[in-house]
Structure 1
């Protein structure tokens, strides 16, 4: 069964075919920016019943080197049969389209990346005949983009950086830079990148951090991930805050003016984020958050709640 990270690692190149030329400089090659890109059918099945599909296939045209094909494969782990499949893909595409064919393999861990970039020959040692050695993009060579300005300069590359570093220690800083940069982007640009990043992180621990960042930094976007986070936050608030303060908040949301109601909901969101992160909230801190009716202060506390190490840090200094 195809996993979300697998889909994200290759479909991001369909979303922005020019990404390959920007990625190539990290792979030790210089591919000009394409002047035209066309998505081609990924079905490489012949008349026999064996079905073969490449993950993503693009026809790229450059101003000075002419057209070529780019096959993008997402690889989650080592698999002894893949080099033979890659050899088939490139040979078949070369034969069918009569165009030079490049193969890019995208990985999320160092071991798989090292394995994928090793040359494999189909013939005996003295007669290699056909050798497959794809370009490999992974945590070993993709940039660590932790500066929001750098992320803003190339949002798609920043998303790919987050996906390929999903298991790396720097992923938190990468995700924060990306979410900050996406706040200024139009929704039609930001929304697919929010989803690609969520898919790429899958069940890794960084997925929870991304969900929190989407809920806080990008809460105004209407995406399935943002809506999913909001629903879970509301559920956790209902499950964990059952005391008199929560009942009072519900009553005031119904009875008070709109601005006061928004403040109460914001206070509940702060408590929900703290609960999701497993931070202990004292009665004093809970009461201070629940009694605050200043939307600006609550907004500031909500942002602090994503990264603070204790609940007290959130309300320190107001």
Structure 2
């Protein structure tokens, strides 16, 4: 039940709106007297349902640090309406769960990341009511992981590094490192990473194609949609012919087809003599070594160096 003191404390400003100016003067704040005053409806209930959906919401509970709500937003470009929406998300989450919320914004370009990282003041300059301070990650602060051992130590971070650097020049080195690190990972671990990176690279066609080529080399046993598509394109003919001639020869033919497909996708010219060398080889160890070199080789000569 609303008490008389409760009513008096706010109704005074309804009866005497200019009271605000006097209060500010008493508190040492410099608000000028308004030119006009309008009383607005006090019911803040939404007139119609409005969909407000955070991209990802995770709750963390710790005996030492207590509880935390992590709201993750993926932001691909600047949006002047977003800061107000983000402030609403945080206020709503705190009201609903009574747990401190944190907003994490993930970006793929520096300009958007710098824009999202700004502290947004909500309220008058004389006395800000709220300050929105997103935690932002993007190519400006995510590590460039080019060491396979470092990537293996934290595959999740290496995955995010690849996604956030999707539009950067150093993404090639990151992708090659990640694919190398995934060779020894269990299928259950590597499969979602393969798909996440493939989706994250869709804004960079060249990087996406490189990832397809890398996945085609040593990750062929994974069941992701990307791996299935690559196997369908690159191995169907070789495996079909190989089964007719025997298991070993078929695997060798499939590997040979993969090498040539990989070099073709990377724009590497393969002379007829080298093409014949690949297709006529039936040694799986040799073909595997050529696979590894084809990932980064700048020419066909580099693939067959020291052979």
Q: TM-score band, normalised by the shorter chain?
A: 0.7 to 0.9
Native 8 Å contact 1:211 1:229 kept in 2: yes
Alignment of 1:39-118 (within 5 A): 48-118=48-118
- How far 1:252 sits from its partner (Å)? 5.7
- How far 1:234 sits from its partner (Å)? 4.8
Q: Which residue of 1 aligns with 2:149?
A: 149
Q: Structure 1, residues 163-186: CA drift from partner, whole Å, max 9, x if none?
A: 111111221111122111111121
Partner SS state of residue 141, structure 1: coil
Change in Cα spacing, 1:278 to 1:125, as seen in structure 2 (3 Å) is same
Partner SS state of residue 108, structure 2: coil
Q: Which residue of 2 aligns with 1:295?
A: 284
Partner Cα separation in structure 2 for residue 233 and residue 139 of structure 1: 33
Query: Is residue 233 from structure 1 mapped to residue 199 from structure 2 by the alignment?
Result: no
Q: Which residue of 1 aligns with 2:207?
A: 206
Query: Is residue 189 from structure 1 mapped to residue 189 from structure 2 by the alignment?
Result: yes
TM-score (norm 1): 0.77
Partner Cα separation in structure 1 for residue 160 and residue 103 of structure 2: 17
- How far 1:63 sits from its partner (Å)? 2.3
**Higher deviation after alignment, 213-222 or 147-156:** 213-222
Say what the alpha-carbon RMSD is for the aligned residues: 2.0
- How far 1:232 sits from its partner (Å)? 2.9
Q: Which residue of 2 aligns with 1:224?
A: 225
Structure 1: gaps of 5 or more residues = 1-44, 239-248
1:269 to 258, 265, 272: 258
Q: Structure 1, residues 17-76: CA drift from partner, whole Å, max 9, x if none?
A: xxxxxxxxxxxxxxxxxxxxxxxxxxxx97832110000111111221211211110100
Change in Cα spacing, 1:98 to 1:47, as seen in structure 2 (3 Å) is farther
Native 8 Å contact 2:256 2:279 kept in 1: yes
Count of residues in Structure 1 that have an aligned counterpart in Structure 2: 262
Larger Rg: 2
TM-score (norm 2): 0.80
Partner SS state of residue 58, structure 1: strand
The structure whose RCO (Cα within 8 Å, separation 6+) is larger is 1
Partner Cα separation in structure 2 for residue 281 and residue 135 of structure 1: 48
